[in-house]
Structure 1
Amino acid sequence: MAPKATHLLDELSRPGPHPVLRGDLALVGLPGTVLTPRSGTGLPAVAFGHGWLQPPARYRGLLRHLASWGVVVAAPATQVGPLASHRLLAANLATALDVCAGVRLGDGGITVDPSRLGLAGHAIGGGCAVLAAAEDTRVAAVATLAAAQTRPFASEAARACRMPGLHVVAGRDQVAPPVGNGELIARAWAGPVRLKFLPKASHLGFTEGWHWSTLLLPGKSEHRTRRLTRALLTAFFLVHLTGAKQYEPLLTDEVKGLLNIELPNAPHDARAL
């Protein structure tokens, strides 16, 4: 294990220095949640897409964690039914970024820098984040967790994504197998990209708490998976949305439970995240 990466994993898996405020996106016409640091101007912002049948509340810990590290996070609570529209969820993610970039948050003292926008998501939310990124030139970074294929195909949309991408796949995922959706998206990615492998994670390991969908989907909430994910996404967005290069070793090196998958067919600079 790389000592520096292990140290960064320990640091970034803990809450950051900022107290967190919670708001309601419904106040601006979009059901969902927004979490922000208590104060700050010119902040980065990320819109997060939920998995199939999963309410945004199942990612509350991850969203709050990112906000504690200075990132505004918006999670639309739309398309949560069994017949969710991937196109509409992608559009809702773009709208959430519009809200973050165009509205003063909190008591009016929190602002977002429109050049520091990112997208993330789990399962179909990850696929929809790719769809949204392919159509939105403002997006500066994209991260997916156990990304599922969408209609239209996220793996095709990835060919138009030139921003840095981070794709995390789970070794015990029976819904979005690691040698499948996430890898297809990563291999098609047009910009710098990295594919990370969590060998002991399941599809629902990225979520928290209990939900009735666990009766339909294999896997369950996993503390270790969530801990690794919190640190990894925090490092990724701090590096690519704020320029905090000191966190880069966690993206480039391996630590216990978090492995790199080489992408030999990726663009020439794909490994230089």
Structure 2
Amino acid sequence: MASKPKELLAELSHPGPHEVLRGNLSLVGLPGVVFTPQSGLSLPAIAFGHGWLQPPGRYRQLLHHLASWGIVAAAPATQLGPLPSHRLFAVDLLNTLDIVTGVRLGPNGISVDPERLGLAGHSTGGGSAVLAAAAEDAPKLKAVATIALAQTLPPASEAARKITVPGLHLAIEGDLVAPSVGHAEAVAKNWGGPVQLRTLPKSTHLGVTEGKHWSQMLLHGKPRRSTQRLVQALFTAYFLTHLTGTDKYRALLDADFKKATIDPLNAELATTH
């Protein structure tokens, strides 16, 4: 019997069945972190882009959560200054995917399937993930997901026209840093493939981040556990569906619920894509 969306949301809000290992990408030439299941071959993987001024450590629980569900999750720790290059960060995201697919990870020789790759990101890291997905030298991706996406230079909204893989964009209602109308919605409208835009109420631009950081004096908002749990569940459902081919969690992705309402824009997009 198929599970109901609320049951799936509750299931994916908890850690998955895998023990998780943490590694350092700098050992293979790029600053950053990687989280993997304890063992496995031909695993799915994502590269995650941090937000403006946010170190990858502020997303530790999200990356750990994905790994506990069998997804290798790596995040480069580059372009952390106040004037980052979004274009170069997109290159770093692609290099991260090259690294995790090109070397055995962990003491058990974990491997990643180059046919099961995705990109994700928060804020400008989400915008850079879009730039990376649109790059001519991007690997064969299966999906892209963002939270509180912020526009980039060059514009992520223009790069989105070149992307044909599925996209999931979670916007924050009342986001003072990256208002959804000019950022996530603009990207979703131009998306070249299947796309879903959801709006999360009662949160802030930094809701998905963890712990305390000096950048909270500059950016609106603070970490919010309910936002973190929701993003963990939706990202996990999304990437398990598109990277592994399972339909077990599709009901959650299709469901509209108050914590993450599907934007009416999706009705328009369904007629154009």
- Shorter-chain TM-score range: over 0.9
Could you say which residue in structure 2 is the equivalent of 1:82? 82
Instruction: State the distance in 2 between where 1:196 and 1:86 align.
Output: 24
Partner letter of residue 41 of structure 2? Answer: T
CA contact (8 A) 1:164 1:192 kept: yes
1:127 corresponds to 2:123: no
- C-alpha separation in 1, matches of 2:45 and 2:248: 20
What corresponds to 1:247 in structure 2? 249
Contact 2:39–2:108 (8 Å) recurs in 1: no
User: Residue 117 of structure 1 contacts residue 140 of structure 1 at CA under 8 Å; is this kept in 2?
Assistant: yes
Out of 192, 195, 198, which is 2:194 matched to?
192
Structure 2 gaps of 5+ residues are: none
Matches within 5 A, 1:1-273: 4-135=4-135, 136-263=138-265, 264-266=267-269, 268=271
The separation in 2 between residues aligned to 1:140 and 1:96, in whole angstroms, is 16
Deviation at 1:90, TM superposition (A): 0.2
Q: What code does the residue aligned with 1:76 have?
A: P
TM-score norm. by structure 2 comes to 0.96
1:268, 1:40 → 2: CA distance? 40
Query: How far did 1:230 drift?
Result: 0.3
* Structure 1 range deviating more: 108-117 or 85-94: 108-117
- Measure how far apart 1:269 and its partner are: 7.4
2:111 alignment partner, SS class = strand
Shift of 1:201: 1.5
Residue 255 of structure 1, CA deviation: 2.4
Distance 2:272 2:73 in 1: 29
CA distance in 2, matches of 1:172, 1:210: 22
Query: Does structure 1 retain, via aligned residues, the 8 Å contact 2:38–2:108?
Result: no
Q: How big is the shift at 1:267?
A: 5.2
Contact map agreement 2:20 2:38 (CA 8 A) in 1? yes
SS in 1 for 2:113: strand
d(CA) in 1 for partners of 2:118 and 2:110? Answer: 17
Kindly state the Cα deviation for residue 244 of structure 1 after the two structures are TM-superposed.
Answer: 1.4
CA contact (8 A) 1:188 1:266 kept: no
> Which SS does the other structure have where 2:41 is aligned?
strand
Q: Deviations over 1:69-98 (max 9, x none)?
A: 000011000001101110110000000000
2:190 aligned partner, one-letter code: A
TM-score where L is the length of structure 1: 0.96
Secondary structure of the corresponding residue to residue 203 of structure 1: coil
Task: Give distance in 1, aligned partners of 2:248 and 2:29.
Answer: 38
Q: What is the Cα deviation at residue 250 of structure 1?
A: 1.2
List gaps (5 residues or longer) in structure 1: none
Runs of 4+ in 1 over 3 A off after TM superposition: 267-270
What secondary structure does 2:220 align onto? coil
Distance 1:214 1:14 in 2: 27
AA matched with 2:129 = A
Aligned residues: 268
Contact 1:79–1:89 at 8 Å: present in 2 too? yes
CA distance in 1, matches of 2:148, 2:243: 22
- Describe the superposition over 1:90-123 as per-residue Cα deviations: whole angstroms up to 9, x where unpaired: 0000000001111110125200000000000000
